[in-house]
Amino acid sequence: MHPDLLVQSLSRSSFTADSITFAYDGRVGPVFQNFSLHTQPEEFVAILGPSGCGKSTLLNLLSGFLTPQKGTIEINGSAVYPEHPALGYVFQSPNLFPWLSVLENVRFGLRMAAKLSNGQQYQTAKTFLDLVGLADHANAFPHRLSGGQRQRVALARSLVMNPALLLMDEPFSALDAITRATLNDEVLRLWSTLGQSVLFITHDIDEAIYLADRIIVLGLAPEGIRAEVKVGLPRPRHQVETRDAPRFHALRRQLSQEIANAQSKTQF
Ligand SMILES: Nc1ncnc2c1ncn2[C@@H]1O[C@H](COP(=O)(O)OP(=O)(O)OP(=O)(O)O)[C@@H](O)[C@H]1O
């Protein structure tokens, strides 16, 4: 299957969390109160916030693992649920199956879904392995790979399922700066090829600016969205030119200030 064909099958999906309120059992106050978040098709949204603002809770809500007490969370107008076919995930830890080869790891979801013949599953898995630059490692086992390569496999394993919305939870925070920069470029290349929407959670302001169309800063629970900025830097992004742009520096300053303000509330 050629990647161009996959672009067509990724329907232009929109994602909506509308006026949600969520509190954990036994917790005094809610983590989110009347919180709304909408993503446009093919939009890259980064979420930043101080520790404890509710990023993980939000991800669990958006993926249907937690249910809000009020409000709705929908993809293309239908309620979200765990393992919704339109959702893909990439986490900080790649969580590959150590007993499966790289190719079998990428094929895994297709095998479980059992929609394609075995031959088509292998062909599709190989296409995605090629897309993340690991075609030569198809038969290797995960322990033979570097941290960055494992994260590439995790990315291929998720993308092979054609998610319309990719939820990424600090996927590169355990990697060194150079590998991280390379993988940021890789994600942008794949995203511009495949056209899914991305919700990318990170603690790293520069990473958020480099990647995103729009950045949402969460305040401490239950403040919700504290600030929202359109990045407005030209694409394709470039490791030197983009990071050198006056707009990049202005955004870094603005976002640092927002996060410092949000954090200062924790101390009182
Ligand atoms: N299972 C739970 N039961 C009760 N309260 C919880 C639970 N999980 C998280 N919380 C509380 O909800 C709030 C948001 O937590 P959450 O883990 O979503 O934040 P976070 O932004 O992901 O934090 P970090 O960046 O440190 O991982 C915190 O006050 C936390 O103590």
Residues 224 and 107 in one domain: no
Structure confidence at residue 12 as a pLDDT band (50, 70, 90) = low
Mean pLDDT throughout 82-108?
A: 93
State the distance from the centre of ligand 1 to the C-alpha of 224, rounded, in angstroms: 13
Which CATH number does the domain housing residue 25 bear? 3.40.50.300
Residues 80 and 177 in one domain: yes
* Residue 58 Cα: closest atom of ligand 1: 18
pLDDT computed for residue 11 by the predictor: 53
Q: Which of 51, 55, 203 to mutate to test the pocket of ligand 1 (most atoms within 8 A of CB)?
A: 55
pLDDT computed for residue 265 by the predictor: 65
Residues 194 and 78 in one domain: yes
Mean pLDDT throughout 261-265?
A: 79
pLDDT computed for residue 85 by the predictor: 87
Residues 33 and 116 in one domain: no
In this structure, the residue with its CA closest to atom 10 of ligand 1 is 24
Q: What is the count of structural domains for the chain?
A: 2
Least confident of 49-58, 90-99, 208-217: 49-58
Task: Give percent above pLDDT 90 in the chain.
Answer: 75
In this structure, the residue with its CA closest to atom 3 of ligand 1 is 24
Mean pLDDT throughout 116-145?
A: 96
pLDDT over 80 at 230, yes or no: yes
Structure confidence at residue 56 as a pLDDT band (50, 70, 90) = confident
In this structure, the residue with its CA closest to atom 8 of ligand 1 is 57
Residue 176 domain-assigned?
A: yes
pLDDT computed for residue 221 by the predictor: 87
Residue 210 domain-assigned?
A: yes
Ligand 1 surroundings by CB, under 6 angstroms:
24, 27, 31, 49, 51-57, 221
Q: Can you give the residue range of the structural domain that contains 152?
A: 96-162
Report the 3 state secondary structure along the chain.
CCHHHHHHHCCCCCEEEEEEEECCCCCCCCCEEEEEEEECCCCEEEEECCCCCCHHHHHHHHCCCCCCCEEEEEECCEECCCCCCCEEEEECCCCCCCCCCHHHHHHHHHHHHCCCCHHHHHHHHHHHHHHCCCHHHCCCCHHHCCHHHHHHHHHHHHHCCCCCEEEEECCCCCCCHHHHHHHHHHHHHHHHHHCCEEEEECCCHHHHHHHCCEEEEECCCCCCEEEEEECCCCCCCCCCHHHHCHHHHHHHHHHHHHHHHHHHHHHC
* Residue 59 Cα: closest atom of ligand 1: 18
Residues 56 and 170 in one domain: yes
pLDDT computed for residue 267 by the predictor: 47
Q: Give per-residue pLDDT as tens, 196-229.
A: 899 999 999 999 999 999 999 999 888 899 999 9
pLDDT over 60 at 266, yes or no: no
Structure confidence at residue 238 as a pLDDT band (50, 70, 90) = very high
Residue after which a domain boundary falls, among 110, 129, 162:
162
Mean pLDDT throughout 147-151?
A: 95
State the distance from the centre of ligand 1 to the C-alpha of 167, rounded, in angstroms: 18
Mean pLDDT throughout 76-85?
A: 88
